[in-house]
């Protein structure tokens, strides 16, 4: 039941992300997004943070494996690694926002700013929520509440975390890679 509810939630979130990406592309056609993106966004730095976020899917997958093998110590270690990688990604996003604000790119300044902050901010919110849930799972693991390998808590959280990582591939491609290809 937990997994079904999470899949339904992910389905609705996926539709929302699709709408945001399509909106970004729509405004991109009418504005000077390509120039603003090239002037203000740093694909190499964000690409590095992207690798770290995608790496967190691997570490979470390892945590799921450790859980299924009832390896509590391994699960804690992989969960901590996942949280660290997700936290570094989020800090990188915060750093990028700080730099953009210093470059006078605000959410209310232009269509690019509005679209960029809305799309990446919505994703960042999902990463933040995921990190909170991962911290709760880590605390439950540390207190021995998730020793039963039949529990669906870890796999349900995994559906969410892998979704957040997969969505970033589309957001990163749309916002950071596309301006260099077109």
**How many CB atoms are located within 10 Å of the residue 84 CB?**
14
**How many CB atoms are located within 10 Å of the residue 52 CB?**
15
114 near 108, Cβ under 8 Å?
Answer: yes
Rounded mean pLDDT of 123-150? 94
Identify the pLDDT of residue 182: 73
Rg (CA), the chain: 18
Give the mean pLDDT of the chain: 94
Higher pLDDT, 38 or 69: 69
Buried b / exposed e along 9-46 (16+ C-beta atoms within 10 A): ebeebeeebeebbeebeebbeeeebeebbeebbebeeb
The residues spanned by each domain of the chain are: 1-11+42-177
Tell me the CATH number for domain 1-11+42-177.
1.20.120.80
| Calpha distance 14→167 (Å, rounded) | 8
| Calpha distance 118→171 (Å, rounded) | 11
Helix (H) / strand (E) element for 87: namely: helix 72-102
Higher pLDDT, 88 or 108: 88
Residue 23 has pLDDT above 90, yes or no: yes
Nearest to 78 by CA among 138, 131, 143: 138
At 120, the pLDDT band (50, 70, 90 cuts) reads very high
At 180, the pLDDT band (50, 70, 90 cuts) reads confident
Is the overall model pTM greater than 0.85, yes or no? yes
Q: What would the two tokens of residue 33 be? A: 């997004």
Higher pLDDT, 16 or 182: 16
Identify the pLDDT of residue 3: 85
162 near 111, Cβ under 8 Å?
Answer: no
Rounded mean pLDDT of 33-56? 93
């Amino acid at each position: 039941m937990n997994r079904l509810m999470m899949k339904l939630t992910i389905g609705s979130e996926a539709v929302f992300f699709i709408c945001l990406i399509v909106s970004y592309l729509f405004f991109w056609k009418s504005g000077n997004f390509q120039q603003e993106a090239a002037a203000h966004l740093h694909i190499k730095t964000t690409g590095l943070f992207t690798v770290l976020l995608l790496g967190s899917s691997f570490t979470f997958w390892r945590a799921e494996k450790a859980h299924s093998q009832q390896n509590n110590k391994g699960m804690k270690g992989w969960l901590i690694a996942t949280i660290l990688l997700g936290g570094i990604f989020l800090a990188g996003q915060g750093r990028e926002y700080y730099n953009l604000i210093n470059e006078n790119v605000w959410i209310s300044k232009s269509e690019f700013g509005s679209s960029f902050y809305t799309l990446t901010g919505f994703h960042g919110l999902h990463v933040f929520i995921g990190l909170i849930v991962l911290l709760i799972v880590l605390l439950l693991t540390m207190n021995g509440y998730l020793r039963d390998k039949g529990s669906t808590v870890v796999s349900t959280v995994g559906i969410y975390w892998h979704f957040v990582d997969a969505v970033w591939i589309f957001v990163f491609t749309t916002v950071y890679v596309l301006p260099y290809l077109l």
